[in-house]
Amino acid sequence: MQQFLAKISLLVRDYDEAIEFYTKKLHFELVEDTRQNETKRWVVIRPKGHSSCSLLLAKAVGEEQISRIGNQTGGRVFLFLHTDNLDRDYQNLIQNQIRIIREPCMEAYGKVLVFADLYGNLWDLIEPIQ
């Protein structure tokens, strides 16, 4: 048997502002942006250089979904982004004025920092020990 995560749904306030943040500031690639009806789009992004899992940007609809934007995990780190160069990516976060929650440090598994995306979701950025 073989299984893998293909997509993770990420609640957003607005498709275009989310696309701009993730593609311009985090340098993700826009994989697909297909209009499904007047209000719903199928928007898929992913980090450049790796295609095993993508994010589906899902525009929040209704009071409950809107209340979850930026806090899908109750304040815990939500997503774990691996990198081949944490120092380079840390400088990119600073240049793009992305909020750093925890400065880079060395852990048993590699270098790590925590940042918040435009909605407040927490991300671990990890350069694993090879």
Q: Of 50, 69, 88, which residue sits at a domain end?
A: 69
Shared domain for 112 and 77, answered yes or no, is: yes
Sheet holding 122-128, edge to edge: 77-82, 122-128, 110-116, 100-107
Rounded-to-integer distance, Cα 39 and Cα 48, Å = 28
Shared domain for 92 and 77, answered yes or no, is: yes
User: Which residues constitute the domain of residue 9?
Assistant: 1-69
The tally of domains found in the chain comes to 2
Shared domain for 94 and 30, answered yes or no, is: no
CATH number assigned to the domain comprising residue 1: 3.10.180.10
pLDDT tens-digit readout, 49-107: 877 899 999 999 999 999 999 999 999 999 999 999 999 999 999 999 999 999 999 99
**pLDDT at res. 54:** 97
What stretches of 22-76 adopt beta strand conformation (E)? Answer: 29-35, 41-46, 54-59
pTM for this structure?
0.94
Q: What is the mean pLDDT of residues 11-23?
A: 98
φ and ψ of 95, to 5 deg:
-60, -30
Q: Of 69, 92, 113, which residue sits at a domain end?
A: 69
